[in-house]
A and B are shown apart, each in its own frame.
Chain A
């Protein structure tokens, strides 16, 4: 089946530092990847849509200069949280949409998430 990985699974950093999170599709190509943020006991909130080879599309209210997204290949997208602050502490989850085969509709597969704690 389709597998999406994220690295790291958890990270603790000091306020003001930058953190990079990787999202990889391991056994399929993904032209589109999505980044979500989930605060404790809340829903997944879409942050941005990442398309391979082009700029990401950010949802309203998400600062593109703070959350840098790069989708350099069909299997890798990265999210960099710049100058992280305690309020950025959250569970970050990516999803990857597979390229359809044999006329089947594309499906999204979720990564395991990265728990970011900013001290």
Chain B
């Protein structure tokens, strides 16, 4: 089955700097890669997603890149703000079927 690895597990960046979270997946059939932000005790919130026919996608300060050959995908957050502090999960699935999550990255934005 699919296995998603996520790094780093914890990331601290100065406010205003950029944050990068990287993930790899194992199943070459996976074609949908969502990213979620989860605050304590709440449901995961979809922040951006990318499908396998696209190499990069951007939405304001958030961008995601996908390298299908290497089975890598990354989340980039620019101009980080205090409200960006949360746990971020990458995930992979095949045609929006069961979503397999990475272990998560706890992002701290330092003042």
Which residues of A pack against B, CB within 8 Å?
32, 34, 42-46, 49, 60, 91, 93, 95, 97, 105-108, 110-113, 115
* Cross-chain contact of B100 among A32, A46, A95 (Cβ < 8 A): A46
Select from chain B the residue with minimum beta-carbon distance to A95: B99
Interface of B is mostly: loop
A93/B100 in contact, CB under 8 A: no
The number of residue pairs between A and B whose CB atoms lie closer than 8 Å in the complex comes to 45
- Residues from chain A with a CB closer than 8 A to the CB of B1 are 60
B81 to chain A, nearest CB (A): 23
Is the CB of B61 closer than 8 A to any CB of chain A? no
Which residues of B pack against A, CB within 8 Å?
1, 32, 41-45, 51, 89, 95-104
* Cross-chain contact of A46 among B89, B99, B102 (Cβ < 8 A): B99
* Cross-chain contact of A43 among B41, B45, B98, B103 (Cβ < 8 A): B103
